[in-house]
């Protein structure tokens, strides 16, 4: 037997669950992140993105989104725009605005340029974007598009955390389609890949479940003979546990085992791996039989235990998060960092705490300032430090103390006019509406011995503001006005659709005209508003025109849009709508010309569909041979698109109709190898049965018929397949 090593034979790593592991990949640093390569504008954009993410986490969505949009608009040549697109796309997925999310996430496709190899931060950003595109399509129930994005990750970047996540959603797509065997096949692959180039491979996170992956070509044999696959797990602190592994599939030669970890003194063979600060975990596996015929060869792998610090404000029990801080009361701080547990006694750490406030602004000053320039000046300019203190936190728990939890408190002292705060004492002077910020430096974490600053913020609450407020319905700000008009136009679009569905076209036209009045103001405005608002206005306008069957108007709107925004993410959709409108109005040649214009765009995301629709148009014109040639081009030029599989399916139908069964058989082999998730594989299996039968290959015909019944037992073709199978069995027995 031979243990196929990943690094030194066994790779042990912590998989922190679906979302935690995504975060670990996201914060990983690479050598390409050198600050020396960044300009002043890059730093400004970076800080804007960080501030926007803080606002979104604080549920101030409008401000956060506006800030991310400003980065994309104001820094078109900065790499940070990719980070902004990614953050905005993830947020839009979380709030279920999937179409908008996909448009921003596709902006990261420019990172994956032909002839270049993705690595480091670029690879992480690109894969995260592709993953969330797949998630968005899954939630929209567009499973074909989801498969395209997710399979590209598992095929091209298999040993990444994103491949693990992608397999989960591939399985869920098959679950939604009731392809049970494919569900099992995909879900068994979740968590089986680890990036050997990742900086986190040599570390494991304390307190998380510890996973071990074994690659051994003999595992399928061990599984079939009923032998246990065991690992021995040791810690430097003295713990010893035995971990039983389960096979991943039956052919892959992979097995995985896991054990929970916890901070504390070692207790052997209790099913939990106890860890202390600075611990090391060693995993041992005995290779039963190597390629050289050697027996019971030891394979080992060691990883260092680290703790990524977390800091929070809590109540006095250190168990629940505190909602706010109160004048005259203590504020409690909890830090989780097992790395700082160095003795059996209650270890101590220090943390810096400051109170800060925003100074009152002169209302006569023009507020229309460049946000980037403001942030570039630093937080000292936005906030002023009122007071600061250094706190000593003690490790919590009974001796011997190995909890890695450090707690302490500081008294909040009300601000007294005329008495400046003493920054050398141990109390913190605060005013109402101040922010209290705790700063802690984490020297060792999942990224290794790299400095990481952890912070926590809490608001000091005071008296309720009872001052009267004035509201008004007149909107003067052009951006706010445009957003208001888009909301109103969207409502009129929905009303138009309702009236049209009821057959009340007169009312539908009336509502559509009212909606178009709203968006026309946005399209024609000379005020400086974000381009995305104008793009959205165009979209609503052509949707309204299509609803009331003003196809020529819709075409004109789309053409104007394409001229004004030639590189926009909506240009593909605009031109595709023009083509589909022309098909609907039987202007087939006009549709073909529009689809050809999509193919001429340098960065179009709709080229595969344009090629496929062109072939469909040729079929309508009865140009069968030309259509098949275009289907073939679609499959060859865009192999990763959902239209590649569909095009090959069309070619299979053509070859069977033309009785070119050998060509059909060859294409079917290619389809099942390259497109394992295609929605039409059930019908392709039935065609394969027919092609094999016509070729006289009855054994293969029976094999494919059996596969159809096994993989799609409740399918519409099942009854037909059962009838064919009985005939094939009689045929093979003759």
Query: Would you state the pLDDT for residue 24?
Result: 32
DSSP secondary structure string, 301-328?
A: EEEEEE---EEEEE-TTSSSB-S-EETT
Could you tell me if 354 and 436 are in contact, meaning their C-beta atoms sit under 8 angstroms apart? yes
pLDDT, average across residues 366-384: 49
Could you tell me if 259 and 271 are in contact, meaning their C-beta atoms sit under 8 angstroms apart? yes
pLDDT, average across residues 119-130: 87
Query: Would you state the pLDDT for residue 371?
Result: 45
CATH architecture of 203-305: Sandwich (2.60)
Domain spans in the chain, listed from the N-terminal domain onward: 29-140, 157-197, 203-305, 310-361+372-461
pLDDT, average across residues 604-615: 86
Is the pLDDT higher at 361 or at 357?
357
What is the chain's mean pLDDT, rounded?
80
Q: What are phi and psi of 411, to 5 degrees?
A: -80, 135
Q: Which residues contact 703 (CB under 8 A, 6 or more apart)?
A: none
What crossing angle do the helices spanning 505-524 and 531-547 adopt, rounded to 10°? 160
The neighbour count for residue 220, using CB atoms within 10 Å, is 17
pLDDT, average across residues 87-94: 91
Whether residue 241 is predicted with pLDDT greater than 90 in this model: the reply is: yes
Q: Looking at 39-43, 193-197, 616-620, 710-714, which range is the least confident one?
A: 193-197
The count of C-alpha atoms lying within 13 angstroms of the C-alpha of 547, restricted to the half-sphere facing its C-beta, is 31
Could you tell me if 291 and 235 are in contact, meaning their C-beta atoms sit under 8 angstroms apart? no
Query: Would you state the pLDDT for residue 13?
Result: 35
Which has the closest alpha carbon to 205: 29, 334, 12? 12
Spatial separation of the C-alpha atoms in residues 568 and 602, rounded to whole Å: 12
Query: Would you state the pLDDT for residue 377?
Result: 41
**Banded pLDDT at 199 (limits 50, 70, 90):** low
DSSP code of 31?
G
Whether residue 545 is predicted with pLDDT greater than 90 in this model: the reply is: no
Spatial separation of the C-alpha atoms in residues 95 and 194, rounded to whole Å: 30
> Which residues are bridge partners to 441 per DSSP?
453
Q: Which residues contact 43 (CB under 8 A, 6 or more apart)?
A: 376
**Banded pLDDT at 388 (limits 50, 70, 90):** very high
- Strand bridging mode 240-244 / 230-235: antiparallel
Spatial separation of the C-alpha atoms in residues 475 and 481, rounded to whole Å: 6
Whether residue 3 is predicted with pLDDT greater than 60 in this model: the reply is: no
**Helices marked H in 585-717:** 588-599, 607-620, 624-637, 642-657, 661-674, 681-694, 698-711
Tell me, yes or no, if the two domains 203-305 and 310-361+372-461 fold the same way: yes
pLDDT, average across residues 529-542: 83
**Banded pLDDT at 660 (limits 50, 70, 90):** confident
Query: Would you state the pLDDT for residue 218?
Result: 81
Distance, first Cα to last Cα, the chain: 43
- Percent of the chain residues topping a pLDDT of 70: 85
Query: Would you state the pLDDT for residue 430?
Result: 92
Whether residue 14 is predicted with pLDDT greater than 50 in this model: the reply is: no
Query: Would you state the pLDDT for residue 566?
Result: 66
Query: Would you state the pLDDT for residue 410?
Result: 92
Query: Would you state the pLDDT for residue 123?
Result: 86
pLDDT in tens, 569-585: 566 777 787 788 788 77
CATH topology of domain 310-361+372-461: Immunoglobulin-like (2.60.40)
Spatial separation of the C-alpha atoms in residues 149 and 131, rounded to whole Å: 7
pLDDT in tens, 471-506: 445 555 788 888 888 888 898 998 998 888 888 888
Could you tell me if 717 and 691 are in contact, meaning their C-beta atoms sit under 8 angstroms apart? no
**Banded pLDDT at 7 (limits 50, 70, 90):** very low
pLDDT, average across residues 224-250: 86
- Percent of the chain residues topping a pLDDT of 90: 18
Could you tell me if 9 and 301 are in contact, meaning their C-beta atoms sit under 8 angstroms apart? yes
Is the pLDDT higher at 49 or at 598?
49
Q: Give CA torsion, residues 604, 609, 610, 616, to 10 deg.
A: 180
The neighbour count for residue 202, using CB atoms within 10 Å, is 15
**Banded pLDDT at 662 (limits 50, 70, 90):** confident
DSSP secondary structure string, 512-572?
A: HHHHHHHHHHHHH--S---HHHHHHHHHHHHHHHHHTT-HHHHHHHHHHHHHH-TT-TTHH
Spatial separation of the C-alpha atoms in residues 728 and 734, rounded to whole Å: 10
Looking at mean pLDDT, say which of 176-185, 404-413, 665-674 comes out highest. 404-413
Whether residue 329 is predicted with pLDDT greater than 60 in this model: the reply is: yes
Percent helix, strand and coil across the chain, each rounded to 5?
50, 20, 35
Query: Would you state the pLDDT for residue 368?
Result: 43
Q: What are phi and psi of 257, to 5 degrees?
A: -135, 165
DSSP code of 161?
H
pLDDT, average across residues 353-373: 63
What is the C-alpha R_g of the chain? Answer: 31
Tokens encoding 333: 């701080």
CATH topology of domain 29-140: 1.25.40
Query: Would you state the pLDDT for residue 603?
Result: 66
Query: Would you state the pLDDT for residue 296?
Result: 80
């Amino acid at each position: 037997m031979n243990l196929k090593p990943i690094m030194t034979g066994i790779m042990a790593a912590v998989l922190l669950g679906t979302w935690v592991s995504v975060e670990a990949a996201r914060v990983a640093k690479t050598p390409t992140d050198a600050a020396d390569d960044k300009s002043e504008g890059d730093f400004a954009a970076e800080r804007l993105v960080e501030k926007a993410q803080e606002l979104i986490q604080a549920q101030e969505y409008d401000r956060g989104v506006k800030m991310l949009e400003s980065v994309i608009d104001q820094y078109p040549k900065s790499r940070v725009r990719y980070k902004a697109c990614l953050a905005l796309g993830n947020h839009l997925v979380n709030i279920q605005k999937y179409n908008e999310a996909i448009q921003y996430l596709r902006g990261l496709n420019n990172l994956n340029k032909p002839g270049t190899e993705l690595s480091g931060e670029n690879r992480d950003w690109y894969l995260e974007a592709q993953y969330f595109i797949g998630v968005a399509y899954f939630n929209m129930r567009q499973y074909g598009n989801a498969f395209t994005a997710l399979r590209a990750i598992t095929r091209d970047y298999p040993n990444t955390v994103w491949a693990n996540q992608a397999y989960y959603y591939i399985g869920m797509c098959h679950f939604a389609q009731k392809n049970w065997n494919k569900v099992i096949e995909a879900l068994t692959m979740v968590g089986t890949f680890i990036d050997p180039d990742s900086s986190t491979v040599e570390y494991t996170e304390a307190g998380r479940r510890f996973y071990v992956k074994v690659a051994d070509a003999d595992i399928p044999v061990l599984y079939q003979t009923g032998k246990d696959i065991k690992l021995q797990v040791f810690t430097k602190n003295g713990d010893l546990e035995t971990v039983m592994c389960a096979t991943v599939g039956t052919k892959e030669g992979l097995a995985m085992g896991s054990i929970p970890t916890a901070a504390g003194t070692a207790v052997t063979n209790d099913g939990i791996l106890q860890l202390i600060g600075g611990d090391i975990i060693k995993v041992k596996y005995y290779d039963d039989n190597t390629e050289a015929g050697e027996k019971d060869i030891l394979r080992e792998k060691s990883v260092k235990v680290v703790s990524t610090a977390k800091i929070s404000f809590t109540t006095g029990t250190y168990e629940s998060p505190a909602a706010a801080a109160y004048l005259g009361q203590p504020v409690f701080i909890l830090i989780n960092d097992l790395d700082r547990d160095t003795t059996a006694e209650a270890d101590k750490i220090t943390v810096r705490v400051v109170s800060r406030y925003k100074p009152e602004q002169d209302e006569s000053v023009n507020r229309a300032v460049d946000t980037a320039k403001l942030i570039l000046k630093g937080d000292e300019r936005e906030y002023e430090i009122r007071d600061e203190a250094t706190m000593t936190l003690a490790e919590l728990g009974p001796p011997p103390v190995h909890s890695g939890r450090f707690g302490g408190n500081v008294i909040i002292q009300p601000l007294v006019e005329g008495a400046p705060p003493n920054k050398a004492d141990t109390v913190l002077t605060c005013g109402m509406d101040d922010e209290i910020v705790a700063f802690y430096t984490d020297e060792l974490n999942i990224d290794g011995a790299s400095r990481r600053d952890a912070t926590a913020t809490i608001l000091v609450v005071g008296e309720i503001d009872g001052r009267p407020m004035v509201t008004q319905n007149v909107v003067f700000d052009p951006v706010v006005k445009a957003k208001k008009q888009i909301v109103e136009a969207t409502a009129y679009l929905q009303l138009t659709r309702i009236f049209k569905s009821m057959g009340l076209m007169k009312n539908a036209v009336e509502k559509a005209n009212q909606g178009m009045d709203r968006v026309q103001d946005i399209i024609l405005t000379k005020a400086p508003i974000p381009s995305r608002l104008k793009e959205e206005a165009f979209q609503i306008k052509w949707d309204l025109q299509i609803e009331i069957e003003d196809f020529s108007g819709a075409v004109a709107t789309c053409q104007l849009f394409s001229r004004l925004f030639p590189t926009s993410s909506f240009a593909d959709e605009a031109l595709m709508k023009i083509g589909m409108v022309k098909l609907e109005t039987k202007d087939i040649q006009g549709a073909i010309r529009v689809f050809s214009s999509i193919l001429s765009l340098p960065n179009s995301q709709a080229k595969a569909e344009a090629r496929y629709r062109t072939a469909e148009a040729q079929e309508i014109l009865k140009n069968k041979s030309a259509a098949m040639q275009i289907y073939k081009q679609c499959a060859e030029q865009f192999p990763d698109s959902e239209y590649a599989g569909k095009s090959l399916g069309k070619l299979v139908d053509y070859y069977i109709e033309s009785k070119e069964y050998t060509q059909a058989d060859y294409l079917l082999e290619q389809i099942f190898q390259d497109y394992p998730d295609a929605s039409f594989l059930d019908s392709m299996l039935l065609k394969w049965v027919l092609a094999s039968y016509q070729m006289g290959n009855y054994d293969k015909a029976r094999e494919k018929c059996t596969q159809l019944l096994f993989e799609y037992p409740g399918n519409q073709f099942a009854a037909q397949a059962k009838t064919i199978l009985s005939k094939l069995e009689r045929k093979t027995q003759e």
